[in-house]
């Protein structure tokens, strides 16, 4: 694309961004198709929830080319009932989206689908509530839909339904979003045998970040340069309960940065942000660095463990960058180096042969090995080169200094800001306190290779991610906003082909508190909200680099996943701090509060989540006290390694975990889900009532709304978006707009229906005082990587300052 065309394109995108936001900001997600069964032709027909057909498989194939998405869906519905089933197929359409070329087939034969306006579709859903007493479809209120009649399906028979539609995906300040919901758990009698989504993504503009807020930890992303990528998701024997959401960003800049934000409609005055930063995938030159490989060759490594470790080191040596330097240290009771100093990549082959001849003998002198490796890092510091130290051990320190606290103190005195330490614990006989503290204090990450896992696969997988750094020792400064509680707590390195996520909270202080501070002058602010500036600084080959970003601070209901992702990361961080540094009442209280509020099950709340008073301050205090009374968890052994891995997964989570709590119903014997997420809210099933975790029975009195009454439908008419809460069942308690409502059997109370236009909470005025997290240890930025942070909706463009 020519510079003139690029400039024109940017102007058009900026001019249209506000219009696109207006058209799509309040759009609920597109829903997958469902068959609403007719009442069975038998005496005393069962309720609707007992007549759903089984969805055998659900396959989605998507092509996105320059923001035009073509979605192909294939589902098989199976009638496992004893009666002949027929019904109406409903496919809710996205509100405000441009959907065209809608075609549909049933068992390979084309059928005509009738387009229903939102009011017509809503009438169907409300009739089901009135006639069959089932509110499950109310979550689709406000959306148009396609309807088609499904002819009778005999007992044991099935129907294959296929459909295809096209929609335009608008660009919002460089960010494109695609959503396909998979929340079919209410509409299938059994788990799906096969559920998959495949996306082929192409763009004329360079793509930077590719991210799934809902399935990032369960998808595979294959990048083919800056203009093409494929994304795959597949699970078996699953009841999907989350929409599939995909976000990608486009930018002509060297490093693209986008900011997603969510500002809850409450009185907290604080929002959440998710910051995505991604340099180009196609890197011309990586930052030169030094790589030190440290291998435990004690007697316990004999056999398969040592063979796999040798393969791991050989992989690293074969994949060094051209300007890297390296060395290898083997240690047991003593140690030996491949060479007396750091060596050029040209000697990697000789080093691999040297590694191949190592034998397992002696004890384990971890202190000696670490200090020797750090002495090599001193050469890197003088040359201002980052050092990557990969440390493999399968045991506890048995030689030399064996006290964990002393080893950590010795390492702290010898390390530097240039060191990134990546320990690998092989097997179960490792000290998780030692390895995790080494990683935490040296901006690395711990890998635990369990007895059933391969060392070479774990090490090579990590090294492939950290192979190509682009920017190191990161620091972020924010103007016009106060940023707090960001995770990861220490800014990490960003590597080519990898995506890094930063989450946090923000608030905009009163203008009366402002003390104007000099700040960078960005280009003209983007339309659609308050403009803001973020500066990112880091080092390339010892030289300071600065990037300036402009963006928009606003509110978007599409980003309600952000608070739960932020809470997941904070809980993981606090759990690790307790394990490494001892229990702290404030940390435990925070974990309990976050776990209950956001439905994130942890060792602190899993055994109390069903307690009747867990939503009260008294109940949460008791939960914290009960945990504090438990014995200290071990730091060595299989349970310790499992705990360390689980916490690491939460600290680095790219998407919030789905609710996973189930229990057996005492009356029916069926296993039922007891925790549900609806938007940013979490509901607990308590004594048959789905209860909003923001409801506090000690301080709140709920207005009672009779299920299926005219008041019930008047409330739905005033707030269609509350249909998501009402769809949970015929007994629900939820809090909205400062009031609590309880859906009950019978007539209920005389409820004051809210006005048609809700009152929204607005952020306070901004200041120009910077908010900085640069006092924490920095990290690195690499091409093809992405940084995400949790906060307000906005998109930022990174510009390099010369």
Which region among 264-278, 310-324, 727-741 has the lowest average model confidence (pLDDT)?
Answer: 264-278
Per-chain mean pLDDT for the chain: 80
pLDDT in tens, 337-360: 999 999 999 999 999 999 999 999
Task: Work out the percent of the chain whose per-residue pLDDT is above 90.
Answer: 34
**How far apart are the C-alpha atoms of 326 and 290, rounded to whole Å?**
5
| Omega before 41 within 30 of 0, i.e. cis | no
Pairing of strands 739-744, 703-706: parallel
Which region among 75-89, 579-593, 610-624, 677-691 has the lowest average model confidence (pLDDT)?
Answer: 610-624
List the beta bridge partners of residue 672: 663
Is the pLDDT confidence value at 630 over 60?
Answer: yes
Look at residue 346 and give its three-state secondary structure. helix
Which runs of consecutive H residues, i.e. helices, occur in 346-403? 348-356, 366-382
Q: How confident is the model at residue 94 (pLDDT cuts 50, 70, 90)?
A: low
Label residue 554 left, alpha or beta by phi (over 0 means left) and psi (-120 to 50 means alpha): beta
As separate numbers, helices (DSSP H) first and strands (DSSP E) second, the chain gives 14, 41
Q: How confident is the model at residue 29 (pLDDT cuts 50, 70, 90)?
A: very low
**How far apart are the C-alpha atoms of 22 and 27, rounded to whole Å?**
10
pLDDT in tens, 191-229: 888 999 999 999 998 898 899 988 888 899 999 988 999
Which runs of consecutive H residues, i.e. helices, occur in 532-632? 562-581, 585-598, 617-628
CB 172 within 8 A of CB 178: no
Q: How confident is the model at residue 238 (pLDDT cuts 50, 70, 90)?
A: confident
The kind and range of the H/E element at 432 are helix 432-441
At 766 the pLDDT is 44
Compute and round to an integer the Cα radius of gyration of the chain: 28
Read off the pTM: 0.81
676 versus 142: which is more confidently predicted? Answer: 676
Which region among 107-111, 215-219, 662-666, 690-694 has the lowest average model confidence (pLDDT)?
Answer: 662-666
Q: What is the 3-state secondary structure (H, E, C) of 273-297?
A: EEEEEEECCCCCCCCCCEEEEEEEC
Is the pLDDT confidence value at 692 over 80?
Answer: yes
Is the pLDDT confidence value at 503 over 70?
Answer: yes
């Amino acid at each position: 694309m020519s510079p003139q065309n690029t400039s024109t394109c940017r102007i058009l995108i900026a001019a249209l961004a506000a219009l696109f936001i207006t058209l799509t900001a309040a759009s609920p997600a597109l829903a997958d198709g469902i068959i609403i069964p007719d009442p069975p032709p038998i005496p005393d027909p069962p309720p609707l929830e007992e007549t759903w057909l089984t969805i055998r498989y659900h396959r989605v194939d998507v092509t996105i080319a320059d923001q035009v998405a073509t979605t192909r869906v294939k589902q098989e519905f199976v009638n496992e009932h004893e009666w002949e089933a027929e019904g109406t197929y409903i496919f809710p359409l996205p509100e405000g989206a441009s959907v065209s070329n809608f075609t549909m087939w049933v068992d390979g034969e084309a059928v005509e689908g009738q387009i229903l306006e939102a009011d017509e579709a809503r009438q169907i859903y409300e009739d089901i509530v009135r006639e069959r007493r089932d509110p499950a479809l109310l979550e689709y209120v406000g959306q148009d839909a396609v309807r088609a009649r499904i002819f009778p399906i005999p007992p044991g028979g099935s129907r294959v339904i296929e459909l295809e539609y096209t929609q335009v995906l608008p660009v919002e300040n460089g960010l494109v979003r695609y959503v396909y919901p998979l929340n079919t758990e209410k509409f299938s009698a059994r788990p799906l045998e096969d559920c998959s989504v495949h996306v082929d993504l192409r763009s004329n503009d360079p793509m930077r970040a590719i991210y799934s807020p809902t399935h990032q930890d369960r998808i595979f992303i294959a990048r083919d340069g800056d203009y093409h990528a494929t994304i795959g998701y597949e699970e078996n024997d699953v009841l999907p309960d989350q929409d599939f959401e995909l976000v990608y960003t486009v930018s002509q800049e060297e490093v693209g940065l986008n900011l997603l934000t969510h500002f809850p409609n409450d009185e907290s005055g604080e929002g959440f942000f998710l910051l995505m930063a991604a340099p180009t995938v196609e890197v011309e030159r990586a930052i030169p660095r030094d790589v030190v490989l440290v291998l435990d060759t004690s007697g316990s490594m004999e056999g398969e463990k040592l063979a796999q470790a040798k393969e791991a080191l050989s992989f690293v040596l074969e994949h060094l960058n051209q300007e890297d330097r390296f060395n290898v240290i083997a240690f047991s009771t003593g140690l030996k180096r491949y060479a007396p100093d750091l060596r050029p990549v040209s000697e990697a082959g000789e080093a691999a042969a040297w590694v191949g001849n190592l034998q397992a003998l002696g004890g384990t002198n971890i202190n000696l090995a670490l200090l020797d490796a750090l002495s090599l890092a001193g050469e890197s510091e003088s040359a201002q080169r980052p050092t990557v130290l990969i440390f493999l051990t399968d045991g506890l320190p048995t030689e030399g200094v064996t006290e964990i606290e002393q080893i950590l103190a010795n390492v702290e005195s010898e390390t530097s800001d240039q060191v990134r330490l990546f320990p690998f614990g092989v097997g179960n006989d490792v000290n998780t306190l030692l390895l995790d503290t080494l990683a935490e204090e040296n901006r690395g990450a711990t890998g635990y290779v369990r007895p059933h896992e391969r060392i070479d696969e774990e090490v090579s997988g990590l090294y492939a991610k950290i192979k190509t750094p682009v920017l190191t020792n990161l620091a972020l400064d924010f103007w016009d906003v106060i940023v707090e509680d960001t995770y990861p707590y220490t800014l990490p390195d960003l590597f080519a082909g990898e995506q890094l996520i930063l989450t946090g909270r923000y608030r905009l202080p009163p203008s009366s508190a402002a003390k104007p501070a000099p700040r960078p002058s960005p280009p003209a602010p983007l339309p659609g909200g308050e403009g803001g500036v973020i500066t990112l600084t880091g080092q390339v080959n010892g030289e300071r680099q600065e990037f300036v970003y402009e963006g928009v601070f606003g509110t978007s209901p599409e980003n309600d996943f952000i608070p739960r992702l932020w809470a997941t990361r904070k809980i993981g961080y606090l759990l690790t701090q307790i394990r490494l540094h001892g229990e702290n009442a404030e940390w435990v209280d925070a974990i309990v509060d976050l776990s209950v509020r956001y439905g994130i099950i942890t060792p602190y709340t899993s055994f109390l989540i069903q307690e009747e008073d867990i939503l009260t301050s008294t109940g949460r205090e008791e939960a914290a006290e009960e945990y504090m009374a438990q014995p200290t968890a071990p730091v060595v052994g299989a349970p310790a390694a499992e705990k360390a891995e689980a916490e690491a997964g939460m600290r680095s989570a790219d998407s919030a975990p789905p609710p996973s709590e189930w229990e057996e119903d005492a009356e029916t014997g069926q296993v039922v889900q007891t925790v549900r997420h609806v938007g940013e809210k979490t509901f607990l099933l308590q004594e048959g009532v789905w209860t909003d975790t923001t409801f506090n029975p000690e301080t709140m009195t709920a207005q009672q709304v009779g299920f299926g009454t005219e008041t019930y439908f008047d409330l739905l008419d005033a707030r269609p978006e509350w249909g998501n809460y009402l769809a949970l069942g015929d007994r629900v308690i939820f809090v909205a707009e400062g009031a609590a409502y309880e859906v009950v059997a019978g007539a209920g109370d005389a409820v004051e229906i809210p006005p048609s236009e809700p009152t929204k909470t607005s952020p306070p005025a901004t200041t120009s005082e910077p908010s900085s997290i640069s006092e924490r240890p920095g990290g690195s930025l690499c091409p093809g990587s992405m940084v995400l942070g949790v906060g307000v909706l906005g998109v930022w463009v990174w510009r390099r300052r010369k």
